[in-house]
Amino acid sequence: MSQKILVSLPDKSVPARRVSFKVAHNLFISFRYAWAGLQYAFTTQRNFRLHVCIGTLALSLGLGLHLAAVELAVITLTVGIVLAMELLNTALEAVVDLTVGRSYHELAKVAKDCAAGGVMMTAIVAVLIAGLLILPPLVYTLHNYLFFG
């Protein structure tokens, strides 16, 4: 039994790479493609922007509270992992949408849900790590500020 593959027309609002099937011939072009991916995610994915804002807040708090360099590095690493997972989720969703088009498929749902679950899991762990590192000095600082002026 053969399956029909539905092909949808490309969305004209999203610029496509003319030679997306070609390999970048130098490092500069590779970085340009990577930057295009980051720009796409930032401009089209609300959750990516949200993670950037929360990550920036966590790093700013860490810097403001004078956390140790290793603690700042751990926060930076966890923020980077969450952003990387969000990029992978976006890529997987695009590939699934390209494959199934406008039709519904249970395995497409599973793939998208699992990718989103991976992002959620890393985000929860990042919040726990940031909380463990930021909350004690934040509470100490607030306590001193409120009670000792």
Q: Which residues are known to be catalytic? A: 86
Q: Which amino acid is at 46?
A: R
Other Cβ atoms closer than 10 A to 45 = 17
Other Cβ atoms closer than 10 A to 135 = 12
**CA 70: distance to chain centroid?**
22
